Amino acid sequence: MREASELSTLAIREASYAAAAGEGAARVMLRCATLAKITDKPGQILRTFVSPAMNEVHRTMRPWMEAAGMAVGMDRAGNLRGVYPADADADMPRLLIGSHLDTVPNAGAYDGVLGVLMGLALVESLAGRTPGFAIEVIGFSDEEGTRFGAPFLGSRAVVGELQGALLQRIDHAGATVGEALREFGAAHTDAVDASLAPGSGAYLEFHIEQGPVLESRNLALGIVEGLAGQSRGNVVFRGRASHAGTTPMRLRSDALAAAAEWMTRVEAIASRFENAVATVGEIEAEPGAVNVIPGFVRCSLDVRHPEDSARDAAVRAIFDEAHVVGRRRGITVEAEQYHEHPAVRLAAEIVAMAERAAKRAGYATIRMTSGAGHDAMVMAPHLPSAMIFLRNPGGISHHPDESVAEQDMAAGLHAGLCFLDEYAAWIGKKEGGQHA
């Protein structure tokens, strides 16, 4: 039973959360606009792994983080990390809040940076008060994989997976990941280690939804309970290139016509599997002339599903269909999957805490599976993780028209403040359990 005085203190604090969240949201909005001006390519937003623009983002964010009372450093993977300390005598597991600072080419102003700035705004809302545990805000150096064609370099470093062949990948200028990091000053001896601090307790990521679901449901916030698994592959169709004017229709082996027929089947097959999405996003046709029948076509394939077995079945059905179309048309088909990432389920306890936090803040939510990959996907196997999605007007992301409403940022921050209370109670219970 809570004492009446304790209850009223709680009520006052929760009322102050709404006000703090409103002020924080205004700052997040302004800062997103400030960071959107920092780019590697004038005329559009582009920030890649350890690029000059990334360096300027760090120089811009450091004073903000330091003013909030955080000790700020860059780790060996170029991640910007700020730690808001716990009480000197508190030895509670720290809470990590993060997302990424890099972008795709011609990006919007919110994908990634929003989650880092929300973490910072939550720390600022504490106004020097300690919640009894440390909070680490992380701005990952790479999530999109724009520079090196391999995603999640920042978070993979934190969980100890940035090593070996990954460090040897080269960018368009011929620099390796390792060389790029040294040039950025990240491999400097003063740099802190990229690994997780011992005693890290959980990871929370705020992110723009990058889809239309929350808007269609008229909700500000969504609780992510899992991230879809993903398969990537290539399907190659080999026919016979020949003259477009002299080869009768019945004597052709048109690789592109076969690919086109298969592509409409990809759409149909994916629709048969509930919650599956499948996309052919790239076509290469050779020789590629207006008056030559295409003899060679390569199509990319991207398939995602919350359940790995269903994704495997969809990929198999799509590949089988390519062979069926090829046999009927006398076209040779080669299909291969070259990349696969299993589906990730987020930690049920932390997801429930995020859900309760949003409810306490006064926001109805739905549970969602993210079709996009996020840093939480890499963190989740190593640290109990949750994600909170913010409504994305028009579902437009990876595009300059991407937007987030300030009031939805306030909703996220209010839920975030309540999440800090949930987290304090959770680690308190865990510690209590350990000592019992």
Could you list the beta-strand ranges (E) of 35-151: 71-74, 80-84, 94-100, 135-140
Stretch that binds Zn ion, among 105-113, 117-125, 227-235, 294-302 (CB under 5 A): 105-113
Nearer to Zn ion, 51 or 125 (CB): 51
User: Which region, judged by CB under 5 A, interacts with Zn ion, from 108-116, 128-136, 214-222, 382-390?
Assistant: 108-116
> Which tokens belong to 13?
């604090």
State yes or no: residue 355 binds Zn ion (CB under 5 A): no
131 counts as binding Zn ion under rule CB under 5 A: no
Minimum distance of Zn ion from residue 116's CB (angstroms)? 11
201 touches Zn ion (CB under 5 A): no
Count residues binding Zn ion (CB under 5 A): 2
Phi, psi of 26 (to 5 degrees): -60, -40
How far is the C-alpha of 261 from the C-alpha of 249, rounded, in Å?
16
> Least Å distance between CB 104 and Zn ion?
9
| Tokens representing residue 157 in the block | 């470093």
Q: Which stretch binds Zn ion (CB under 5 A): 37-45, 61-69, 110-118, 328-336?
A: 110-118
Segment lying near Zn ion (by CB under 5 A), choices 112-120, 163-171, 172-180, 411-419: 112-120
Q: How far apart are CA 343 and CA 332, in angstroms?
A: 32
A 10 A CB-CB count for 89 gives 5
CA distance 9 to 19: 16
CA angle 80, 194, 126 (to 5 degrees): 45
115 forms part of the interface with Zn ion (CB under 5 A): no
- Judged by DSSP in three states, 29 sits in helix
Q: How far apart are CB 303 and Zn ion at their closest, in Å? A: 20
Considering only the stretches 64-72, 106-114, 343-351, 382-390, report the one whose residues sit in contact with Zn ion under the rule CB under 5 A: 106-114
Query: Applying CB under 5 A, which of residues 78, 82, 98, 112 lies at the interface with Zn ion?
Result: 112
Taking CB under 5 A as the rule, does residue 111 contact Zn ion?
A: yes
- Distance of closest approach, residue 209 Cβ to Zn ion, in angstroms: 11
Q: Maximum Cα–Cα distance for the chain, whole Å? A: 92
What whole-number distance in Å separates Cα of residue 294 and Cα of residue 58?
49
Please identify, among the stretches 103-111, 335-343, 354-362, 393-401, the one whose residues bind Zn ion according to the rule CB under 5 A.
103-111
Nearest CB to Zn ion, comparing residues 28 and 235: 28
Residue 90: Cβ within 10 Å count: 13
If we measure between CA atoms, which residue out of 302, 370, 375 comes closest to residue 340? 302
Smallest gap, in angstroms, from Cβ of residue 388 to Zn ion? 13
Task: Please say which residue, 111 or 209, places its beta carbon nearer to Zn ion.
Answer: 111
Interface of this chain with Zn ion, residues 19 to 48, rule: CB under 5 A: none
Nearest by Cα to 121 from 103, 140, 142, 135: 135
Residues that bind Zn ion (CB under 5 A): 111-112
